[in-house]
Amino acid sequence: MTPFGTRLARAIEDRGRFCVGIDPHVGLLHEWGLSDDVASLERFALTVVEAVAPVVGVVKPQSAFYERFGSRGVAVLERVVEESRAAGALVLLDVKRGDIGSTSQAYADAYLDPTSPLACDAITASPFLGFGSLDPMVEACRAHGAGLFVLALTSNKEGPEVQHARDGERTVAGTVLDHLRRLNDGADPVGSFGAVVGATIGETGEDLDTGGPLLVPGFGAQGGTVADLERIFGRAARWALPSSSREVLRAGPDVAALREAALRGNDAVRGLGA
């Protein structure tokens, strides 16, 4: 199986680095003239898929917005994953899983094993039960050519309390980034083990180049700009995936307008890391 990093490098080359979040917020359902029910969730999410999955490299559905409708919402998520992949986009499911190792194995089976109904190209994971607790997910990525994006420096204002905490010389975030560097060692052109680093984090002094990709939420609605990306990431931005949900989704429900918003985002970040 082709490693995720290789597939991602191709997707960036062919379609660009911009990642569109498919987050059916209740407020957006209403802005689109829809109700807060499963039929509307499906209409919203599949409209976004139709508009953006044929043109962007990566889409990022946020699992919470589907889970809140129970099993019927998860069935919609399954369609989002399947139809996005059929349209040629990689699917990075934002689900931020992490637990003791034996349960991490079940998460790996659920999202990273291609025989699962919810199999994706990559997922987000939380390392805060200890990086080693993610080993089953790491092994599943190696076995199935999937990718893992591990929280390191998140875009929310509460993140630094934990992520900037120090154990001797190293911060918690720095330790996460070191683990990722080890996992990506020797990968060419880029590894399959990414970090989640927000566009809103400001200066941290951390080395963000791990040899793997960087998922960069916080771009757009949370205030992150192209200038922030250039300042925070420098050369490491060559493997960055700036990600935006609400800012693109507000262009809907018109399919052409949504696609235009995604293409605009893609153009804005094309030259990063050059």
Ligand X SMILES: O=c1ccn([C@@H]2O[C@H](COP(=O)(O)O)[C@@H](O)[C@H]2O)c(=O)[nH]1
Active centre residues (catalytic): 96
With residues binned 3-state (H G I as helix, E B as strand, rest as coil), the percentages for the chain, rounded to 5, are: 45, 15, 35
Contact between 24 and ligand X per CB under 6 A: no
Q: Please say which residue, 35 or 156, places its beta carbon nearer to ligand X.
A: 156
Q: Please say which residue, 3 or 98, places its beta carbon nearer to ligand X.
A: 98
Q: Please say which residue, 17 or 144, places its beta carbon nearer to ligand X.
A: 17
In the shown chain, the binding pattern of residues 158 to 197 toward ligand X, with x for contact by CB under 6 A and - for none, equals: --------------------------------------x-
235: DSSP letter: G
Which member of 40, 47, 210, 245 binds ligand X (CB under 6 A)?
245
Helix (H) or strand (E) holding 202: none
Contact between 218 and ligand X per CB under 6 A: yes
User: Least separation, in Å, of the C-beta of 241 and ligand X?
Assistant: 11
User: Least separation, in Å, of the C-beta of 168 and ligand X?
Assistant: 25
User: Least separation, in Å, of the C-beta of 115 and ligand X?
Assistant: 27
User: What is the number of other CB atoms lying within 10 angstroms of the CB of residue 117?
Assistant: 11
Contact between 21 and ligand X per CB under 6 A: yes
Look-up: residue for tokens 């919470």?
A: 64
Which member of 155, 163, 171, 266 binds ligand X (CB under 6 A)?
155
234: DSSP letter: G
Look-up: residue for tokens 């190792």?
A: 101
Q: Please say which residue, 104 or 124, places its beta carbon nearer to ligand X.
A: 124
In the shown chain, the binding pattern of residues 124 to 153 toward ligand X, with x for contact by CB under 6 A and - for none, equals: ------------------------------
| CA gap 166, 232 in Å, rounded | 21
Q: Please say which residue, 47 or 243, places its beta carbon nearer to ligand X.
A: 243
Residue/partner pairs of 79-88 with CB below 8 Å, 24 or more apart: 79/42, 79/45, 79/46, 80/22, 80/45, 80/46, 80/49, 81/118, 81/119, 81/120, 83/46, 83/49, 83/53, 84/22, 84/49, 84/53, 84/59, 85/121, 87/49, 87/53, 87/54, 88/15, 88/53, 88/54
Residue number, nearest CB to ligand X: 154
Chain residues binding ligand X by CB under 6 A are 21, 23, 62, 94, 154-156, 196, 198, 217-218, 220-222, 243-246
